[in-house]
């Protein structure tokens, strides 16, 4: 949450800061601000609301002269969204300006001390203590002051800092919140995420915890907490710059849904060699795979939902017991982890605070960890024992679509590979599963091409009050994701239920006209789901069914049917999700919602 940028170079800083913040708005968008050194003073401009308010206020940055500055787009944690609480925060007289992403956990204690020493606080934020504490420790050497502050504060932070006395410098430091440094031809940059710097450079440094970067116009120097200079290697980012642009689509979410066939191919193809699955990055011997006692899948939100699907797949195919945990629960529940367990941490951003903490918890118990991560070089990617990348490219819309699809593919690949090594499927079965996997991109394309039908259906439900999603087995897992997609972007209340569970209480909510989306792709459970459809329909529900081609019998039970192309029963989620994503998208558009930036949400949840 929150996006940080900084620039120091030959060009005017403010337009570059605003442009970078635009790429980071997915991280938070309730207020924004920039601080620029104008040659004499640090000038501040802040505005509540979307970034465009700040852009208008500064004429796209034109009214703020200066070639060094820092900027911030906020997702409020401490203090409501307001001009005063917006970042940057400054020490008295704007001597020091700070932008922050994360939470300073001991800020109340520090605030009290500083107040006793006569410091005056203007905002309700935790961040403001950093500006005043820097001022307190600053005796002419910014680095020394920063290190002293870092020793005093607890919590997570990525910070961009400017000192009026050192107008040719910008400082950056992080602990448990992401921050990168970009080395450009005409200036250097800091940012919370790669898309913010891609227009200016592909040469990026990933700052590690408690490393401090000092940027000048020409140079970038790194220090450790002992004030010693350290050497770091930059990484060349290969992402296509257009991947972070809308490219003619009305919303990033729609564009990203349309990128799913390519995402699936890109995640799949590098791991298929001569018709066999080769997951080099796994680094596990056949003996180690045979010895796996249990898999723990740990993640948040939609990534967690892919884990719920994968449980059915790993257990069904490879006969390995799987526990799926929400990362926020796993980290505090003292999980039972044993020597031959494997912990999978699934994360698009690789920065989700709870998932990162869960990874560290697992590692501290000596268990092998594998990150399934989209963002190269992110914290989870770096800290997991091994990392398997989902090659989805940058995902900008807050609601995940293509990264979700890629996470499913990565787990299918692992499951087939484990099943082969453990001898729980034959070579022939593995070959047939691989053929089904390879057909998925074309099948997804086909479903996307059918968007008109779903759009029409969605238009009938833009005024819905409650929607229920039901399914059994793998179809229950897809119901969880279908329901989350709808509620997060359209603000319609929705719930997902295992179809057999509805009558244990929730069926009392079904009224005349309530929409129930029933997913019935599992042939062995199909008849049972039809019975559940009839139960709700008898009570007045309108039923949208999603099932496999050929299951026409369902038309007698459901009001509206969407058919999916044939695939293995393990992989149906990869297809069923497409109409459900499209449905949520068109309902949200019909209701006039801000699809890419739903209220109260942020893309990367870096606070617990
Ligand atoms: C929902 C969504 C979230 C994320 C969750 C985990 O559309 O995107 O539920 O899946 O916040 O994020 P990552 O995968 O970055 O760890």
Nearest-atom index, ligand 1, CA of 348: 14
What are the residue ranges in the chain where pLDDT is below 70?
1, 241-244
CA of 396 to the centre of ligand 1 (A): 12
CA of 400 to the centre of ligand 1 (A): 6
User: Would the CB of 349 count as within 6 Å of ligand 1?
Assistant: yes
User: Would the CB of 302 count as within 6 Å of ligand 1?
Assistant: yes
Q: Which of 22, 76, 84, 82 is nearest to 52 (CA)?
A: 22
Question: What pLDDT, on the 0 to 100 scale, is given for residue 30?
Answer: 87
Element at 221 (helix H, strand E) = strand 220-223
d(CA 570, CA 567): 8
User: Would the CB of 605 count as within 6 Å of ligand 1?
Assistant: yes
Q: How far is CA 197 from CA 2, 14, 17, 45, 506, in A?
A: 16, 14, 10, 22, 48
User: Would the CB of 348 count as within 6 Å of ligand 1?
Assistant: yes
- Cβ contact 436:442 at 8 Å: no
* Assigned token pair, 463: 């005024």
Cis peptide before 573 (omega within 30 of 0): no
Residue bearing the CA closest to ligand 1, atom 7? 399
CB neighbours (10 Å) of residue 48?
A: 18
User: Would the CB of 399 count as within 6 Å of ligand 1?
Assistant: yes
Nearest-atom index, ligand 1, CA of 404: 10
Helices (H), 35-183: 51-57, 107-116, 128-137, 142-152
Q: Which residue has the tokens 């449905």?
A: 583
CA of 403 to the centre of ligand 1 (A): 9
3-state helix, strand, coil in the chain (%, to 5): 40, 25, 35
d(CA 555, CA 518): 12
Residues with catalytic annotation?
2, 603
Residue bearing the CA closest to ligand 1, atom 1? 399
Q: Which residue has the tokens 């490879």?
A: 318
CB neighbours (10 Å) of residue 102?
A: 26
Close Cβ partners of 583 (under 8 Å, ≥ 6 residues apart): 454, 457, 458, 461, 482, 486, 517, 544
CA of 79 to the centre of ligand 1 (A): 24
pLDDT tens per residue, range 117-155? 999 999 999 999 999 999 999 999 999 999 999 999 998
CA of 83 to the centre of ligand 1 (A): 28
Q: Which of 152, 201, 143 is nearest to 172 (CA)?
A: 143
CA of 399 to the centre of ligand 1 (A): 7
Nearest-atom index, ligand 1, CA of 398: 8
To test ligand 1's pocket by mutation, which of 251, 328, 348, 405 has the most ligand atoms within 8 angstroms of CB?
Answer: 348
User: Would the CB of 301 count as within 6 Å of ligand 1?
Assistant: yes
Close Cβ partners of 299 (under 8 Å, ≥ 6 residues apart): 306, 307, 326, 327, 345, 346, 347, 352, 355
CB neighbours (10 Å) of residue 522?
A: 21
To test ligand 1's pocket by mutation, which of 1, 325, 359, 400 has the most ligand atoms within 8 angstroms of CB?
Answer: 400
User: Read out DSSP for 232-281?
Assistant: ---EE----GGGGS-TT-SSHHHHHHHTHHHHHHHHHGGGEETTEE--GG
- Cβ contact 13:68 at 8 Å: yes
Tell me the HSE value of 181 on the side-chain side, using a 13 A CA sphere: 29
Close Cβ partners of 327 (under 8 Å, ≥ 6 residues apart): 298, 299, 300, 304, 345, 352, 354, 355, 357, 358
φ/ψ (deg, to 5) at 48: -75, 145
Sheet strands side by side (includes 212-215) = 89-90, 96-104, 155-163, 170-175, 212-215, 220-223, 229-230
User: Would the CB of 359 count as within 6 Å of ligand 1?
Assistant: no
Nearest-atom index, ligand 1, CA of 403: 14
Q: Which of 102, 128, 103 is nearest to 115 (CA)?
A: 128
In 527-547, which positions are buried (b, 16+ CB within 10 angstroms) versus exposed (e)?
A: eebbebbebbbeeebbbbbbb
User: Would the CB of 400 count as within 6 Å of ligand 1?
Assistant: yes
d(CA 417, CA 407): 16
Q: Which residue has the tokens 């789901």?
A: 529
- Cβ contact 466:494 at 8 Å: yes
Question: What pLDDT, on the 0 to 100 scale, is given for residue 164?
Answer: 97
d(CA 270, CA 273): 8
Residue bearing the CA closest to ligand 1, atom 5? 301
Nearest-atom index, ligand 1, CA of 349: 15
User: In whole angstroms, what separates CA 88 from the centre of its chain?
Assistant: 24
User: Would the CB of 306 count as within 6 Å of ligand 1?
Assistant: no
User: Would the CB of 85 count as within 6 Å of ligand 1?
Assistant: no
Nearest-atom index, ligand 1, CA of 303: 10
pLDDT tens per residue, range 484-511? 999 999 999 999 999 999 989 889 999 9
Q: Which residue has the tokens 């929150």?
A: 2
Residue bearing the CA closest to ligand 1, atom 3? 301
Question: What pLDDT, on the 0 to 100 scale, is given for residue 241?
Answer: 67
Nearest-atom index, ligand 1, CA of 375: 15
d(CA 35, CA 222): 23
Nearest-atom index, ligand 1, CA of 380: 16
User: Would the CB of 390 count as within 6 Å of ligand 1?
Assistant: no
Helices (H), 3-42: 13-24
CA of 352 to the centre of ligand 1 (A): 8
First to last CA, the chain: 11
CA of 602 to the centre of ligand 1 (A): 9
CA of 299 to the centre of ligand 1 (A): 8
Helices and strands, number each (H, E), in the chain: 18, 27
Q: Which residue has the tokens 């892919």?
A: 306
- Cβ contact 82:31 at 8 Å: yes
């Amino acid at each position: 949450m929150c996006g940080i940028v900084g620039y120091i170079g030959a060009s005017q800083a403010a337009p570059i800061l605003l442009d970078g913040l635009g790429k980071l708005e997915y991280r938070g968008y309730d207020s924004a601000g920039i601080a620029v050194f104008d040659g004499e003073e640090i000038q501040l401009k802040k505005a509540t609301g979307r970034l465009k308010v700040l852009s208008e206020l500064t004429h796209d940055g034109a009214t703020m002269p200066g070639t060094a500055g820092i900027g911030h787009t906020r997702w409020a944690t401490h203090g409501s969204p307001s001009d005063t609480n917006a970042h940057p925060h400054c020490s008295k007289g704007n001597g020091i300006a700070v932008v922050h992403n994360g939470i300073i956990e001991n800020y109340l204690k520090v605030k009290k001390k500083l107040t006793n020493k006569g410091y005056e606080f203007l905002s309700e934020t935790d961040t403001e203590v950093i500006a005043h504490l820097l001022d307190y420790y600053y005796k002419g050497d910014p680095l020394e002051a920063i290190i002293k502050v870092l020793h005093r504060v607890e919590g997570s932070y990525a910070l961009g800092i400017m000192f009026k006395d050192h107008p040719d410098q910008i400082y950056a430091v992080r602990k448990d919140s992401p921050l990168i440094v970009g080395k450009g031809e005409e200036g250097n940059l800091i940012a919370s995420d790669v898309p913010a710097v891609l227009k200016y450079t592909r040469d990026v440094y990933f700052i590690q915890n408690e490393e401090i970067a000092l940027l000048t116009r020409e140079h970038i120097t790194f220090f450790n907490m002992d004030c010693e200079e350290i050497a770091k290697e930059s990484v060349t980012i290969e992402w296509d710059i257009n991947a972070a642009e809308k490219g003619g689509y009305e919303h990033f979410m729609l564009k990203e849904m349309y990128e799913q066939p390519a995402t699936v191919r890109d995640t799949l193809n590098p791991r298929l060699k001569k018709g066999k699955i080769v997951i080099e990055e796994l680094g596990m011997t056949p003996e180690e795979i045979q010895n796996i006692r249990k898999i723990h899948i740990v993640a948040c939100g939609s990534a967690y939902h892919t884990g719920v699907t994968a449980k059915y797949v790993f257990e069904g195919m490879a006969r390995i017991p799987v526990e799926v945990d929400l990362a926020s629960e796993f980290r505090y529940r003292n999980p039972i982890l044993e020597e031959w367990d494997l912990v999978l941490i699934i994360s698009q951003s690789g920065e989700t605070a709870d998932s990162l903490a869960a990874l560290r918890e697992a590692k501290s118990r000596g268990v092998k960890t594998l990150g399934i991560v989209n963002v190269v070089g992110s914290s989870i990617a770096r800290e997991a024992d091994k990392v398997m990348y989902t090659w989805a490219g940058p995902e900008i819309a807050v609601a995940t679509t293509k990264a979700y699809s890629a996470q499913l593919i990565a787990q299918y690949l692992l499951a087939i590979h484990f099943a082969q090594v453990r001898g729980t499927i034959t070579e022939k079965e593995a070959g047939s599963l691989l053929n089904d996997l390879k057909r998925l991109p074309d099948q997804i394309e086909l479903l996307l091409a059918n968007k008109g039908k779903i759009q029409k259906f969605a238009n009938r439900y833009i005024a819905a009050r409650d929607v229920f999603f039901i399914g059994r087995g793998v179809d229950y897992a897809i119901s969880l994701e279908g329901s989350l997609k709808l509620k997060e972007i359209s603000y319609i209340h929705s719930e997902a239920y295992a179809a057999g569970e509805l009558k244990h209480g929730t069926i009392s909510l079904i009224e005349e006209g309530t929409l129930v989306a029933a997913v019935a792709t599992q042939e062995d459970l199909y008849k049972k789901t039809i019975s559940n459809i009839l139960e709700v329909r008898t009570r007045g529900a309108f039923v949208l069914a999603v099932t496999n081609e050929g299951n026409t019998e369902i038309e007698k039970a459901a009001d509206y049917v969407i058919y999916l192309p044939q695939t293995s029963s393990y992989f149906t989620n990869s297809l069923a999700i497409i109409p459900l994503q499209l449905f949520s998208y068109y309902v949200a558009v019909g209701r006039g919602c801000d699809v890419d930036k739903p209220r109260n949400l942020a893309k990367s949840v870096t606070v617990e």
